[in-house]
Amino acid sequence: MALDGISLTVAERSGDGVGVAIIPTTYDLTTLSDKEPDDPVHVEVDVVAKYVESLVEGY
């Protein structure tokens, strides 16, 4: 997934939330270091991943 155009790895999913893995270099060199909890972000998801998820539902 991407937050504000920054590609990140989903580390955990729970209910309606996700946790992402952010390496220190990514944090330091992007706008992520300027974010505070509850700041709005633009969220993008991988269309292929959503397609695969729909294919494997029920297995």
Span 16-52, pLDDT tens digits = 888 999 999 999 999 999 999 999 999 998 888 778 8
Residue 22 · residue 11 · CB < 8 Å: no
d(CA 40, CA 32): 11
pLDDT at 59: 76
- What are the Cα distances from residue 27, in Å, to 13, 45, 57? 21, 20, 34
**Per-residue pLDDT for 58 more than 90?**
no
Q: Which domain holds residue 10?
A: 2-56
Domain count, the chain: 1
C-alpha of 15 from chain center: 15
